[in-house]
Amino acid sequence: NAGVMQNPRHLVRRRGQEARLRCSPMKGHSHVYWYRQLPEEGLKFMVYLQKENIIDESGMPKERFSAEFPKEGPSILRIQQVVRGDSAAYFCASNRDYLNTGELFFGEGSRLTVL
Amino acid sequence: DQQVKQNSPSLSVQEGRISILNCDYTNSMFDYFLWYKKYPAEGPTFLISISSIKDKNEDGRFTVFLNKSAKHLSLHIVPSQPGDSAVYFCAAGSNFGNEKLTFGTGTRLTIIP
């Protein structure tokens, strides 16, 4: 009964490198959401994906950030040319389908540190 | 624009007493509201939710109250236990449009033994 799995749990990158964060949703879930939590702040929505489709990317920075959820395999959040301001906890969440209760199931997060 | 606001960054409550966490929202299109609990270095976990057609929902020690006219909701925990010490996030969503949740900034609850 695996929950939402994220890896890596911790990632250290130097400025200018690329960061790739992976998320496997709960079994049977086809909707994936990425949220970012900056230090001492709340969770900010980044992107909502279904298999092979980006549904809402209104929270994604316009440059350097991209996300995908392929037909096979995990969802990936990719940050190119990282900067110190990208240091944050990135949480992935999933749900099965349209639920009017809105409950999302979260992973334990990936903590990115940019040196 | 912060559509969901938690104005108290922290709250300390004596064990056994009632904890009341507050949340305000500005978007009248929100149809449902949720509370999540988060421990350090873990992901948020769902606690309790309420639909906009209700004004109260109860689950054990946890009760959520919704005042639509005031655009305000609160989470009551009674009696408070040491294991309740965590950060609590209020979240809101809408049945119209996409399905993302909008989160508040969180309230750190500390239960004093």
A28–chain B nearest CA distance, Å: 17
Q: A29-72 pLDDT, tens per residue?
A: 888 999 999 877 889 999 999 988 999 999 999 999 999 999 99
How far from A59 is each of A33, A66, A109, B71, B87, CA to CA, in Å?
11, 11, 18, 24, 23
| A45 → closest Cβ in B43, B100, B105 | B100
CB contact under 8 A, A43 and B43: no
Nearest to B46 by CA among B103, B2, B111, B113: B103
| B43 → closest Cβ in A48, A91, A95 | A91
Sign of CA dihedral A37, A74, A50, B36: negative
Q: Does A102 have pLDDT greater than 70? A: no
**What pLDDT score does A24 carry?**
96
A7: its two tokens: 């890896």
**What pLDDT score does A101 carry?**
60
**What pLDDT score does B95 carry?**
73
Pick from A69-83, A93-107, B59-73, B89-103: least confident: A93-107
What SS3 state is found at A84? Answer: helix
Q: What is the mean pLDDT of residues B63-80?
A: 97
- Partners of B102 in the β-ladder: B92
> Is residue B99 very low, low, confident or very high in pLDDT (cuts 50, 70, 90)?
low
**What pLDDT score does A98 carry?**
56
Interface test with B, best of A103, A105, A113 (most B CBs within 10 A): A103
**What pLDDT score does B21 carry?**
98
Spatial CB neighbours of A40, under 8 Å, sequence gap ≥ 6 = none
A106–chain B nearest CA distance, Å: 6
**What pLDDT score does B97 carry?**
53
> Is residue A1 very low, low, confident or very high in pLDDT (cuts 50, 70, 90)?
low
**What pLDDT score does A76 carry?**
98
What SS3 state is found at B57? Answer: strand
Taking the mean position of all CA atoms in its chain, how far away is CA A71?
Answer: 17
What is the spatial distance between Cα B109 and Cα A71, in angstroms, rounded to a whole number? 41
**What pLDDT score does A95 carry?**
85
Q: Does B20 have pLDDT greater than 60? A: yes
B108: its two tokens: 């750190």
State which residue of chain A sits closest to B38, comparing Cα positions. A108
Averaged confidence pLDDT in chain A:
91
Interface size between A and B, measured as CB pairs under 8 A: 67
What is the spatial distance between Cα A12 and Cα A66, in angstroms, rounded to a whole number? 19
Q: B25-70 pLDDT, tens per residue?
A: 999 989 899 999 999 889 999 999 999 999 999 999 999 999 999 9
What is the spatial distance between Cα B74 and Cα B14, in angstroms, rounded to a whole number? 18
Instruction: Strand A5-7: give its sheet, edge to edge.
Output: A5-7, A19-24, A75-79, A65-68
How far from A61 is each of A39, A111, B32, B97, CA to CA, in Å?
18, 18, 27, 21
Residue by residue, DSSP assigns A1-13 as ----EEE-SEEEE
Q: What are phi and psi of A5, to 5 degrees?
A: -110, 125
A16–chain B nearest CA distance, Å: 26
CB contact under 8 A, A100 and B102: no
A100–chain B nearest CA distance, Å: 6
Q: Does B14 have pLDDT greater than 90? A: yes
State which residue of chain A sits closest to B6, comparing Cα positions. A42
